[in-house]
Amino acid sequence: MKFLLVFTICSQIHGNCIPPMVHDKHFDSHYECATTGYGMAKEMMADFGQDYVERNQIVIGFKCKAGSEI
């Protein structure tokens, strides 16, 4: 079964989220998808920078959509 990684980035200050972003790679396992998601979310937070994240209270969520959900 293949998995697709989907990110949602939200601002808790503004109470909104940008439209979900889909990673361009299909993963062969949930584990591979989830561990990639955690790593990429951490990188995104670092790229945004501490000031921006603090000012907008940014949170990043993700899910791994499986087989028939893709």
Each residue's pLDDT tens digit, 17-36: 999 999 999 999 999 999 99
This model's pTM is above 0.95: no
65 has a pLDDT exceeding 90: yes
Residue 56 in tokens: 């907008």
Kind of pairing between the strands at 3-11 and 58-66:
antiparallel
Q: Among 44, 43, 42, 36, which residue's Cα sits nearest to residue 63? A: 36
Confidence (pLDDT) at 69: 61
Confidence (pLDDT) at 6: 97
C-alpha dist (Å) from residue 59 to 25, 26, 30: 22, 24, 22
